[in-house]
Structure 1
Amino acid sequence: MTGIDDVDYRILELLMDDARRSYRDIAEEVDRSPPTVSERVERLEEVGVIEGFTLDVDRSMLVEGPTVLVDLAVEPGSEEMVVDSLTDAPAVEHVIRTVDAAVVFVAHANERDVGALLSETLGDERVRDYRVRLVGETKWEPRLDEEHLAIECVVCGKAVEGGDESVDLGDRTYEVCCSSCASEIKDQYDALQQAASE
């Protein structure tokens, strides 16, 4: 299987709705056998479309304090370290770094405790300024856009269409859009293998 077809799309929809759904239930929905569904899910994992199956926990039920949205202005060049540090903080739920180097996160803490959280987690020298807003409501409902759903070629970034190629290298499968990209990734892999063995 190369690319994503209608069956894969439907499997993804069903798993997004309930990741605990059995392959047997999914197979009935997509008119395929459970082993076929299992193979398709495994393939979607191999190519990186499915990154894992997670548990969605309402942390507000487990952590004290209201939900707040915090906008950070951080020292230039420290964004990645700030994101990593905040990700490990127990009160922090989501961390987002924008392309213009802003950092935004959702946490469960009283507004007055955010300063202490930042000081303990990041130190005072990394944060230039911050703004705290109370969150009234959040909704997280991931959706698939079938029209724009495609695997990207790992070499050139073009969409991988049905009938394109996949390349097995080591223990991983890579999706490519054409024989030229297949040759290029094989050459890169061989060069890395050769360099590693020297």
Structure 2
Amino acid sequence: MRDLDETDVEILSLLAENARRPFSEIGERVGLSGPAVSDRVTRLEESGVIEGFTVDVDRSKLRAGVPVLVDVALPLGSESDDDQTALDRARHRVGEADAVEHVFVTADGDLRLYGRVEGRNVREWVRGLFDGIDVDDYDVTLVDEFQWTPSVEGVEFALTCAECSNTVDSEGETARIDGEVYHFCCPSCLSRFRDRYQRLEEGV
């Protein structure tokens, strides 16, 4: 297989802006025909770069409430009776909350979430959300404007060899084995993988 080129990245950027954009329109922007764009998108899907197309819902049109960011400081290593850390329990709790739209975990092991709640009850909502979970502290910030802009500009793509886990570069190979697409850094890894796969199939 070959590395992604500038045309691939431009196609990905256009799809990130609008996944329903017709291939013919993309082709006009990148200098290819519609079918050629379709072929590239199919290859990107088979390579695992594109995992699927989705709908971007503006939840502000569906749910009333004040948009808030909540930063939650959690004690490190504090375990509950079921051996879950406070972070595990908090993550599970906020993941099930209807008002929460995005959840982030910081490198420090703290939790940040974005959601929409009734303005008069924000602190009450946060206290109820973490009831029974050890929380050192939390801060609530009202959000004035929120915009999600997906982009692939400046991103370097790297595929991993299915045999040795090395990075697959332009010298690598791609093979479809039993309906699945696999990437390999060299012909030797591809050969070893095929041999082992065949032995497993034969029950050796």
- TM-score tier by shorter-chain length is 0.7 to 0.9
Instruction: Compute the displacement of 1:67 (Å).
Output: 0.7
Select 1:129's aligned residue among 114, 133, 137.
137
1:111 offset after TM fit, Å?
6.5
**Alignment match of 1:166 (pick from 163, 169, 174):** 174
Distance in structure 1 (CA, Å) of the matches to 2:196 and 2:94: 36
Task: Report what 2:38 is aligned to.
Answer: 38
Query: What SS does the corresponding residue of 1:119 show, helix, strand or coil?
Result: helix
Q: C-alpha distance in 1, partners of 2:35/2:166?
A: 31
Amino acid at match of 2:122: D
Q: How has the CA–CA distance of structure 1 residues 92 and 186 changed in structure 2, closer, same or farther, with 3 Å as cutoff? A: farther
Q: 1:94 and 1:35 mapped to 2: Cα distance?
A: 36
**Partner of residue 158, structure 2:** 151
Runs of 4+ in structure 1 displaced over 6 angstroms? none
Q: What are the Cα deviations for residues 99-135 of structure 1, in whole angstroms up to 9, with x where unaligned? A: 3322211010137335435635x64235453221111
- 1:178 and 2:183 aligned: no
In the other structure, the counterpart of 2:21 is: 21
Counterpart secondary structure, 2:132: coil
Q: Map 1:1-198; keep pairs closer than 5 Å.
A: 1-74=1-74, 76=77, 77-80=85-88, 82-109=90-117, 110=119, 112-113=121-122, 115-116=124-125, 119=128, 123-125=131-133, 127-146=135-154, 148-154=155-161, 155-158=164-167, 160-183=168-191, 185-186=193-194, 189=197, 193=200
Q: Report SS of the residue matched to 2:60.
A: helix
Deviations 1:43-90 (A, max 9, x none): 212222222222222222321211111112346435345434423322
Using the TM superposition, give the Cα deviation of residue 5 of structure 1 relative to its aligned residue in structure 2, in angstroms. 1.5
Secondary structure of the 1:100 match is coil
Normalised TM-score (structure 1): 0.77
Distance 2:62 2:30 in 1: 37
CA distance in 1, matches of 2:62, 2:35: 38
Asked if the contact 1:68–1:111 (Cα under 8 Å) also holds between the matched residues in 2, the reply is: no
**Alpha-carbon distance in 1 for matches of 2:120, 2:2:** 49
User: Hey, what's the Cα distance between the residues in 2 that align with 1:166 and 1:176?
Assistant: 6
Gaps of at least 5 residues in structure 1 are none
User: Is the Cα contact below 8 Å between 1:79 and 1:102 reproduced in 2?
Assistant: yes
C-alpha RMSD over aligned residues? 3.1
Letter in 2 for 1:119: G
Q: Secondary structure at the match of 2:140?
A: strand
Count residues in correspondence.
193
Looking at structure 1, the residues matched to 23 and 48 of structure 2 have their Cα atoms a distance apart, in angstroms, of 19
CA distance in 1, matches of 2:17, 2:65: 29
Deviations 1:177-197 (A, max 9, x none): 323443455466557x459x6
The structure-2 alpha-carbon separation of the partners of 1:61 and 1:190, relative to structure 1 and needing over 3 Å to count, comes to same
Report if the CA contact (8 A) 2:69-2:114 is conserved.
yes
Contact 2:86 2:133 in 1 (8 A): no
